[in-house]
Amino acid sequence: MEEKNRILPPDRRQVVRVIKGLQALMFPMCFRREDPEMTDEQLTEETELLLERELCAAMLFRGETEPKAKARKICASFMDQLPRIRELLMKDVEALYEGDPAAESREEVMICYPGFYAISIYRLAHELQKLQTPLIPRIMTEFAHEKTGIDIHPGATIGEYFFIDHGTGIVIGETTTIGDHVKLYQGVTLGARSFELDENGNPVKKIKRHPDIGNHVVIYANATILGGDTVIGDRCVIGGNTWLTHSVPAGSTVAYTATEDRR
C-alpha cells in the first residue's frame, strides 16, 4: 500500500490542457490556443505527447504492466478518431442551432453554450472510455461538470444530434443510452432507481442501472427518469417535474400533475 501511494495519478491540470488542445484542433475558430503562433502540426504533437504522458500515469496508477506501450497504442487509436468525433460534434451544433431560437449562429453555439461545451468533452472522454482508459475519462467529464453543472458519465452512450438547453443540473448515468435527436432541458436526471447488493451488502458494479431513451425524445426541465429496465420509446415527450420509474411506449406524452402522472 505504501508503495502504491508513491505512484501519482494523472495530473488533472495536464488533462485539462489536453482537452483545450483537442478543442482548439477541432474548432480553431472558436477555441483559442494557448500559443496563437502554434501551427496545427505543433499543437497536434504537443497535445498527443501530453495525452500519452497522462495515459501512462493512469496505467501506472492502476498497476498495469508495460504502461508506455499501452498508453502509446491508446493514444494513437484515439487521435485517429478525432475527425469522426468532430463530425459528431458538428451534428450536435446543428441540433442546438436549429433547436434554439435564441441562437444567432453556429459559432455562438460553440463559443457560448454550456451544453455544447459539456458535450464536446463527453464525446472525447467517451472515446477514451471505449478504449478502456482508466481515470482520465472521468477527470475530463468531471472538469466539464465543474465548469457547466452538466454531469455526463463517460460510459453513457449518446446518439447523434444531441441537444442540451441551459443544462445546469443535468445528470446522465454511466449505463444510460440515448438515441438520436434527443433534447434535454435543465435539471433532468437519467439515474439509477436502486443499487443491487452482493452477498456482503456492497453495490454490484458493471450492471445496467440507468434508463434507455429512444430517438426524437424531448425531456423537459427537472424531469427524473430512473432504472435500468426503464425504456422511453421513440418520439415521447416527458413533461417538466415528471418522476418516472417505468417504461413509456413510443409516441407518448407524460405530464406531471399534483395528484398523478397523466400519460
The reported pLDDT for the residue numbered 256 is 81
Strand, coil or helix: what is 155? coil
The reported pLDDT for the residue numbered 259 is 61
Mapping DSSP onto H, E and C, the string for 40-85 reads HHHHHHHHHHHHHHHHHHHHHHHCCCCHHHHHHHHHHHHHHCHHHH
Handedness of CA 44, 136, 133, 84 (dihedral sign): negative
The answer to whether residues 29 and 106 belong to one domain is yes
Contact assessment for residue 253 and residue 235, using Cβ atoms and an 8 Å cutoff = no
Among the three residues 114, 149, 184, which one is the final residue of a domain in this structure?
A: 149
The answer to whether residues 203 and 86 belong to one domain is no
Residue stretches of the chain with pLDDT short of 50: 1-4, 261-263
The answer to whether residues 29 and 116 belong to one domain is yes
DSSP conformational letter for 148: H
Strand-by-strand arrangement of the 189-191 sheet: 151-152, 171-172, 189-191, 224-226, 243-244
CA angle at 49 for the pair 68 and 81, rounded to the nearest 5°: 90
Q: Please state, in angstroms and rounded to a whole number, the distance separating the CA atoms of residues 25 and 235.
A: 35
Q: Please state, in angstroms and rounded to a whole number, the distance separating the CA atoms of residues 260 and 244.
A: 11
Q: Are strands 212-213 and 189-191 parallel, antiparallel or unpaired?
A: unpaired
The answer to whether residues 143 and 173 belong to one domain is no
State the CATH number of the domain containing residue 1. Answer: 1.10.3130.10
Rounded to whole angstroms, what are the CA distances from 190 to 128, 178, 203? Answer: 22, 10, 19
pLDDT in tens, 194-244: 777 777 777 777 789 999 999 999 999 999 999 999 999 999 999 999 999
Among the three residues 98, 131, 149, which one is the final residue of a domain in this structure?
A: 149
The answer to whether residues 13 and 82 belong to one domain is yes
Handedness of CA 256, 258, 261, 263 (dihedral sign): negative
pTM value is: 0.92
Contact assessment for residue 230 and residue 245, using Cβ atoms and an 8 Å cutoff = yes
State the CATH number of the domain containing residue 191. Answer: 2.160.10.10
Among the three residues 149, 168, 189, which one is the final residue of a domain in this structure?
A: 149
The answer to whether residues 160 and 133 belong to one domain is no
The reported pLDDT for the residue numbered 70 is 93
The answer to whether residues 246 and 210 belong to one domain is yes
Q: Which three cell numbers stand for residue 83?
A: 475527425
> In the chain, how many H helices and how many E strands?
8, 15
The answer to whether residues 161 and 254 belong to one domain is yes
Q: Count of domains in the chain? A: 2
The answer to whether residues 34 and 120 belong to one domain is yes
Helices 12-26 and 136-148: crossing angle in degrees, nearest 10, is 80
The answer to whether residues 261 and 201 belong to one domain is yes
The reported pLDDT for the residue numbered 1 is 43
The reported pLDDT for the residue numbered 123 is 98
The answer to whether residues 162 and 236 belong to one domain is yes
Secondary-structure percent of the chain, ordered helix, strand, coil, rounded to 5: 40, 15, 45
Residue with cell 487509436: 77
Domain that holds residue 17: 1-149
The answer to whether residues 92 and 171 belong to one domain is no
Rounded to whole angstroms, what are the CA distances from 45 to 42, 88, 140? Answer: 5, 23, 20
